[in-house]
């Protein structure tokens, strides 16, 4: 009898410990109302009568990021802004003025045509190799003006075959074309990957007076994504060594006198611009996304920059307990019972963007209910204190393409709406 009582006590203690452990691992309430920053932004949007999903850029944060980048670079290398990551002419204008550069990297034919026509003083470097037919279309449609393609445009070529296309175009159309060579510094996304390939391309350039060598472009975005510090360090050393060797071979073949005036050795990108200090072959760095800092760019090298772009979208339906559709309601009941952060559901205007909720705190998509591009379900504890027509703010994971999904960008300065910026049309 005593043994049975003892066993019952032990069982009760065990059950209590299990219960305590269960309570300890249950999710805690992550919810809270808007912090002051987003409360002010929400108030400004409502005062302006905005009631649809909207891209918001904080001009104060944007300019602070631009100044911080300039401080980090400290004049050691010129900066080239990446147009596809900042696809808005007023945005590019502001940054070019602030960062004292007219160098842009462009990735598609429509942007190239528009920039050449509307920003005649910019220096353009293609960021990816375009088909020869696309280059031919640019020259066919180019109306002249201040922009001089011979001096202000560098096409990017990645193979001897692509370079031959451009050579044939130059001959047929009697054009002078500057070309830059894409080199593979470890990303393995194409470009020159051997001295043999490079020598073939250098021979084409030597033999064709209509083609002028403009420089090289080596993208090293793989470096910070490697899992170990030792791997990252080695990858960076290797990338710089490859760049140095290829640049040396090209200089010896095409500029034997050693003058590199006007030759562009482009490197870097938002994740890696701080890895270049002017001591290597690279003589300029490119970046774009870092200036608005979407969440994919939350890295140690960019921790001194602040997020400056957000999606603001109204709540359409609020105050409901989270329920799964008829037939599987018990799944929703179980989710609510286990996690207080799945107690309430808020359906917002639009959704399923490459973005994540940031304010009010504690909102998240439902893994059970699924995503919607029409009315996204976001779950929370209710501590968010959201009502219908209130705004939810999401942070984009990237800037390219996402910035263009909402029409004009709403620019906030000092917590108030300062202006609206038209975006460039979305293009791959």
* Helices assigned H by DSSP within 226-317: 229-254
Report pLDDT for 13: 44
Pairing of strands 103-106, 123-126: parallel
pLDDT of residue 131: 97
Enter the tokens of residue 193: 């990957």
HSE, CB side, 13 Å, CA atoms: give it for residue 128. 13
pTM over cut 0.95: no
Predicted local confidence at residue 15, as pLDDT: 44
The SS3 of residue 125 is: strand
Given a contact cutoff of 8 angstroms between Cβ atoms, the answer to whether 67 and 98 are in contact is: yes
- Write down the domain spans for the chain: 30-54+307-421, 87-287
- What pLDDT is attached to residue 6? 53
* CB-neighbour burial class of residue 357 (10 A; exposed 0-12, middle 13-18, buried 19+): buried
Specify whether the CB–CB gap between 277 and 76 falls below 8 A: yes
pLDDT for residue 22: 47
Contact partners, residue 310, CB within 8 Å, separation at least 6: 41, 55, 56, 58, 358, 393, 394, 395, 396
CATH 3.30.1490.20 fits 87-287, yes or no: no
- Asked whether 120 and 149 are in contact (CB, 8 A), the reply is no
Structural tokens at position 109 = 């034919």
- Residue 195's alpha-carbon distances to 96, 190, 216, in angstroms, are 36, 14, 14
Parts of the chain with a pLDDT under 50: 1-4, 9-10, 12-23
pLDDT digit string, tens, across residues 235-268: 999 999 999 999 999 999 999 877 788 999 999 9
The CATH architecture one would assign to domain 30-54+307-421 is: Beta Barrel (2.40)
């Amino acid at each position: 009898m005593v043994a049975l009582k003892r066993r019952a006590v032990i069982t009760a203690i065990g059950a209590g410990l299990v219960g305590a452990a269960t309570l300890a691992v249950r999710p805690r309430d992550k919810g809270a109302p808007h912090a002051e920053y987003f409360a002010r932004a929400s108030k400004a949007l409502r005062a302006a009568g905005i009631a649809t999903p909207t891209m918001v850029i904080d001009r104060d944060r944007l300019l602070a990021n631009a100044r911080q980048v300039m401080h980090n670079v400290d004049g050691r290398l010129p900066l080239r802004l990446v147009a596809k990551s900042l696809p808005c002419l007023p945005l590019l204008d502001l940054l070019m003025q602030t960062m004292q550069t007219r160098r842009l990297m462009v990735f598609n034919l429509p942007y190239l045509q528009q920039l050449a026509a509307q920003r005649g003083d910019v220096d353009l470097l293609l960021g990816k190799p375009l088909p020869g037919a696309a280059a031919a279309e640019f020259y066919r449609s180019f109306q002249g003006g201040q922009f001089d393609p011979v001096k202000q445009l560098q096409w990017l070529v990645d193979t001897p075959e692509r370079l031959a296309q451009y050579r044939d175009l130059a001959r047929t159309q009697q054009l002078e074309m500057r070309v830059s060579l894409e080199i593979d510094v470890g990303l393995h996304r194409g470009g020159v990957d051997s001295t043999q390939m490079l020598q073939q391309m250098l021979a084409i350039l030597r033999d064709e007076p209509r083609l002028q060598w403009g420089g090289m472009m080596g993208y090293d975005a793989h470096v910070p994504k490697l899992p170990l510090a030792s791997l990252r360090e080695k990858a960076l050393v290797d990338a710089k060594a490859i760049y140095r060797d290829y640049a040396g071979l090209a200089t010896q073949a095409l500029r034997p006198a050693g003058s590199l005036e006007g030759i562009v050795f482009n490197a870097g990108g938002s994740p890696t611009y701080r890895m270049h200090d002017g001591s290597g072959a690279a003589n300029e760095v490119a970046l774009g996304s870092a200036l608005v800092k979407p969440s994919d760019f939350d890295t140690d090298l960019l921790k001194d920059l602040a997020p400056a772009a957000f999606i603001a979208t109204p709540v359409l339906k609020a105050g409901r307990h989270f329920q799964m559709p008829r037939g599987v309601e018990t799944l929703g009941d179980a989710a609510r019972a286990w996690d207080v952060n799945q107690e309430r559901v808020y359906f917002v205007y639009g959704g399923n963007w490459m973005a994540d909720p940031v304010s009010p705190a504690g909102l998240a998509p439902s893994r059970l209910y699924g995503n919607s591009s029409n009315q996204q379900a976001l779950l929370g504890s209710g501590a968010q204190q959201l009502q219908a027509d209130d705004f939810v703010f999401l942070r984009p994971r990237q800037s390219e393409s996402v910035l263009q999904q909402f029409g004009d960008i709403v620019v906030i300065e000092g917590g108030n709406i300062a202006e609206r910026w038209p975006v460039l049309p979305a293009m791959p």
